[in-house]
Amino acid sequence: MLSSNDQKKFFELSGLISGFLAGTLSEKQQEELNSWLAENERHRELFEHICARQTMRSKIHRYHNEEVQAAFQNFMHRRQRLAFRHRIYQLAVCAVVLIALGGAWLQWQKMRPEQAGKERLVLEDSRQDSTARRPVLTLASGMQIVIPESGLMPGEAAHGRQAAAKDGIFGQQTDIFSPAGSGYNTVNVPPMCDFHFTLADGTKVWMNANSYLRYPVQFAADSRTIYVSGEVYLEVAKDNRRPFSVMVEGMKIEVLGTCFNVRAYSHENETRVTLAEGKVAARVGEETYTLTPGNQLSLEEKTGGVAIRTVDVDDVLAWKRGFYVFKKCNLAEVALTLQCWYNVEIVLKGKVAAHTTYTGVVNKEETIDVFLSRLEKVSDVKCSRKGNVVSIQ
Give 215-270 as a DSSP string.
EESS--SS-EEEEEEEEEEEEPPP-TTS-EEEEETTEEEEESS-EEEEEE-GGGTE
User: Is pLDDT above 60 for 288?
Assistant: yes
Q: What's the length of the chain? A: 393
User: Is pLDDT above 50 for 89?
Assistant: no
What is the C-alpha to C-alpha distance for residues 227 and 186, in angstroms, rounded to an integer? Answer: 9
Give the mean model confidence (pLDDT) for residues 148-171. Answer: 42
Which range in 75-84, 181-190, 199-208 is most confidently predicted, on average pLDDT? 199-208
Where is pLDDT greater, at 385 or 43? 385
126 pLDDT band, cuts 50/70/90, is very low
C-beta atoms surrounding 56 within 10 Å:
21
Give the mean model confidence (pLDDT) for residues 306-313. Answer: 96
Tell which phi-psi region holds residue 151, choosing left (phi > 0), alpha (psi between -120 and 50) or beta.
left
Phi and psi, residue 327, nearest 5°: -130, 105
316 pLDDT band, cuts 50/70/90, is very high
Sheet holding 383-386, edge to edge: 345-348, 389-392, 383-386
152 pLDDT band, cuts 50/70/90, is low
List the single range of 72-81, 216-225, 286-295, 344-353 with lowest mean pLDDT. Answer: 72-81
Residue 206, pLDDT score:
96
| HSE (side-chain half, CA atoms, 13 Å) at 267 | 14
53 pLDDT band, cuts 50/70/90, is very low
Q: Where are the domains of the chain?
A: 4-130, 134-316, 322-392
Where is pLDDT greater, at 124 or 64? 64
What is the C-alpha to C-alpha distance for residues 169 and 39, in angstroms, rounded to an integer? Answer: 28
The architecture that CATH gives domain 134-316 is: Sandwich (2.60)
Please list, in sequence order, all residues whose beta carbon lies within 8 angstroms of the beta carbon of residue 373, skipping any fewer than 6 positions away: 383
User: Is pLDDT above 70 for 283?
Assistant: yes
Q: How far apart are the first and last CA of the chain?
A: 49
What is the C-alpha to C-alpha distance for residues 126 and 45, in angstroms, rounded to an integer? Answer: 13
Residue 16, pLDDT score:
80
What is the C-alpha to C-alpha distance for residues 384 and 393, in angstroms, rounded to an integer? Answer: 9
What is the C-alpha to C-alpha distance for residues 115 and 117, in angstroms, rounded to an integer? Answer: 5
pLDDT digits (tens, 9 = 90+) for 230-271: 999 999 999 989 999 999 988 999 997 899 999 999 888 899
- Rg for the chain, CA atoms, rounded: 22
**What pTM was estimated for this model as a whole?**
0.63
What is the C-alpha to C-alpha distance for residues 36 and 57, in angstroms, rounded to an integer? Answer: 24
Give 318-349 as a DSSP string.
GGGGTEEEEEEEEHHHHHHHHHHHHT-EEEE-
Give the mean model confidence (pLDDT) for residues 288-295. Answer: 95
Residue 354, pLDDT score:
84
Please list, in sequence order, all residues whose beta carbon lies within 8 angstroms of the beta carbon of residue 303, skipping any fewer than 6 positions away: none
What is the C-alpha to C-alpha distance for residues 137 and 84, in angstroms, rounded to an integer? Answer: 37
Please list, in sequence order, all residues whose beta carbon lies within 8 angstroms of the beta carbon of residue 100, skipping any fewer than 6 positions away: 46, 49, 50, 54
151 pLDDT band, cuts 50/70/90, is low
Give the mean model confidence (pLDDT) for residues 268-291. Answer: 94
Where is pLDDT greater, at 230 or 157? 230
As a whole-number percent, the residues of the chain with pLDDT over 70 amount to: 64
What is the C-alpha to C-alpha distance for residues 261 and 273, in angstroms, rounded to an integer? Answer: 6
List the single range of 129-143, 340-354, 375-389 with lowest mean pLDDT. Answer: 129-143
What is the C-alpha to C-alpha distance for residues 17 and 364, in angstroms, rounded to an integer? Answer: 16
What is the C-alpha to C-alpha distance for residues 177 and 153, in angstroms, rounded to an integer? Answer: 11
Residue 86, pLDDT score:
47
Q: Report helix, strand or coil for 93.
A: helix
Phi and psi, residue 337, nearest 5°: -70, -45
Residue 169, pLDDT score:
43
Residue 347, pLDDT score:
94
Give 372-391 as a DSSP string.
HHHHHHHSS--EEEETTEEE
Residue 159, pLDDT score:
36
pLDDT digits (tens, 9 = 90+) for 317-335: 999 999 999 999 999 999 9
CATH assignment of 322-392, given 3.30.70.100, 3.30.420.40, 3.30.450.20, 3.55.50.30?
A: 3.55.50.30
179 pLDDT band, cuts 50/70/90, is very low
